[in-house]
Amino acid sequence: GAGVSQSPSNKVTEKGKDVELRCDPISGHTALYWYRQSLGQGLEFLIYFQGNSAPDKSGLPSDRFSAERTGGSVSTLTIQRTQQEDSAVYLCASSPFGGNEKLFFGSGTQLSVL
């Protein structure tokens, strides 16, 4: 596709369940980012992938959060044993190389934990 694609667009889950969020970056983009946007808050960095390098996981809030990127393309963010405070919009972004390149954002996944 022409842009960054995220699925699902909305996810409602019960507390304690696991969820998987998917991101398809723009073809050819080597850098991929996950951010979290809570209501009334800014963008919170979660994790960054660049090519075949080890990801920067410094923003993951707890060990319930993990992410992988298969084949240098699609990425999945997994949240285990969801909590109500995990409710937020999860945004994925990609860029050609990282560095001074701008980020291209997807429309996000709205996660609601009941």
Partner 1 sequence: AQSVAQPEDQVNVAEGNPLTVKCTYSVSGNPYLFWYVQYPNRGLQFLLKYITGDNLVKGSYGFEAEFNKSQTSFHLKKPSALVSDSALYFCAVREKTNAGKSTFGDGTTLTVKP
Does 22 engage in binding with partner 1 (CB under 8 A)? no
> Interacting stretch for partner 1, rule CB under 8 A, among 11-19, 67-75, 78-86, 97-105?
97-105
**Based on C-alpha coordinates, what's the Rg of the chain?**
13
Segment 76 to 95, residues that bind partner 1, using CB under 8 A: 91, 93
Considering the rule CB under 8 A, would residue 109 count as an interface residue with partner 1?
no
CB atoms within 10 A of CB 101: 13
What is the distance of C-alpha 87 from the center of its chain?
Answer: 13
Query: Look-up: residue for tokens 């969020």?
Result: 21
Q: Is 85 helix (H, G, I), strand (E, B) or coil?
A: helix
Binding track over 53-72 against partner 1, x by CB under 8 A: ---x-xx-------------
CB of 45 to partner 1, least distance (A): 5
Handedness of CA 19, 46, 24, 11 (dihedral sign): positive
Using the minimum distance from each CB to partner 1, give the nearer residue, 42 or 71. Answer: 42
